[in-house]
Amino acid sequence: MSKVLIIEDEQTIVDLITFNLKRDGFEIDAAYDGVSGLEKALSGWADLILLDVMLPGMNGFDLLKKLRQESDVPVIMVTAREEERDKVLGLETGADDYMTKPFSVKELTARIRANTRRKSGEIRPGGSRMTFGPYTVDTGLQEVRRNDAPVELTQREYDLVCYFLTSAGRVVSREELMEKVWGYEYYGDLRAVDVAMRRLREKLEDDPANPQFFITKRGAGYYLQK
């Protein structure tokens, strides 16, 4: 059972999300301000965090910035703000996804499931090992290692690596990545793909500005150069 922490100051929204997610089998906890939200987020209890931007005590952007110093737990920002700069700021600060109110509970549930497929420490039978450069990807242990040392990746980053390995040498469009890796149909905001790729390069490339493995094909997408 996946555990979801809701950090949101509007009780009615918390109640709505809680009712629907519990019905779908999720375990729920909630915080109603940024300070207590950060404390609960850092406890390590949650498999995913739904984070509002406008919070008393500490806004969502500042909370996420502090959280990312210690944790790679998946975060979906949920807010009434629709400005493009806010979406970009959330993604660049470390959010894995972004939804604006009002939202479809069905869509929210789909995005939560897409972000919580990989459980820490879960071993999948029949896993395989794939390599590129100094990296080994163990799909049984669901981890990426560099010269035998584990690399800390988020759910999204791990899924991106696996998808590129199975598509090695082929240019993959942003739309395809959104559908296959994010786990739901393309909704129009491809900036999430670009930000995720930048963060992946920062973790796996020696020189992120001049990547050796994850290459951009201008106007077409990305490909893995093994």
**For residue range 48-94, what is the model confidence (pLDDT) as tens digits?**
999 999 999 999 999 999 999 999 898 999 877 666 677 778 888 88
- 3-state class (DSSP) for residue 203: helix
**Tell me, what's the pLDDT at 188?**
52
- Asked, for residue 124, whether it belongs to a domain, the answer is no
**Domain end call among 75, 92, 115:** 115
The pLDDT, as a whole number, for residue 44 is 93
Same domain flag for 149 and 82? no
Residue 218 lies inside a defined structural domain of this protein = yes
Alpha-carbon Rg of the chain, whole angstroms? 17
What is the phi-psi region of residue 165: left when phi exceeds 0, alpha when psi lies from -120 to 50, beta otherwise? alpha
Q: What are the DSSP E strand ranges found in the chain?
A: 3-7, 27-31, 48-51, 75-79, 97-100, 129-132, 135-138, 143-146, 149-151, 214-217, 221-224
Q: Domain check: are 25 and 106 in the same one?
A: yes
Q: What residue type is 140 in one-letter code? A: G
> Are 76 and 136 in the same domain?
no
CB 158 within 8 A of CB 120: no
9 and 109 share one domain: yes
Residue 149 lies in a domain: yes
29 plus 111 within the same structural domain: yes
Weakly modelled stretches of the chain, pLDDT under 70: 81-84, 117-127, 184-189
In a shared domain, residues 22 and 111: yes
Answer yes or no: is 123 within a domain.
no
Q: Are residues 153 and 101 in the same domain?
A: no
Q: Which domain holds residue 210?
A: 129-224
**Residue 81: its pLDDT value, please?**
66
**CATH number for 21:** 3.40.50.2300
Identify the pLDDT of residue 96: 85
pTM above 0.85, yes or no: no
